[in-house]
Amino acid sequence: MAEVVGGVASSHIPAVGVAIDRGRKAEPYWAPYFAKLPPMQEWVRELVPDAAVVVYNDHASAFSLQLIPTFAIGTAVEFPIADEGFGRRPVPAVQGHPELAWHLAESLILDEFDITIVNEMEVDHGLTVPMSLMFAEPAEWPCPVVPLCVNVVQYPPPTGNRCFNLGKAIRRAIDSYPGAERVLVVGTGGMSHQLQGERAGLVNEAWDHRFLDLLVGEPEQAAAIGHVEYLREAGSEGIELVMWLVMRGALDAEVREVYRATHVPTSNTHNGVLVLENSGGGPFP
Angle between helices 125-135 and 38-47 (to 10 degrees): 80
Contact 178, 110 (CB under 8 A): no
Choosing from 12, 97, 193, 270, the catalytic residue is: 193
Of the chain, the end-to-end C-alpha distance in Å amounts to 19
Q: Cα-flanking dihedrals φ and ψ of residue 90, to 5°?
A: -80, 60
Distance CA 51, CA 49 (A): 5
Active-site option among 97, 103, 125, 263? 125
- Asked if 97 is an active-site residue, the reply is no
Residue 125 annotated to the active site = yes
* Active site residues per annotation: 125, 193
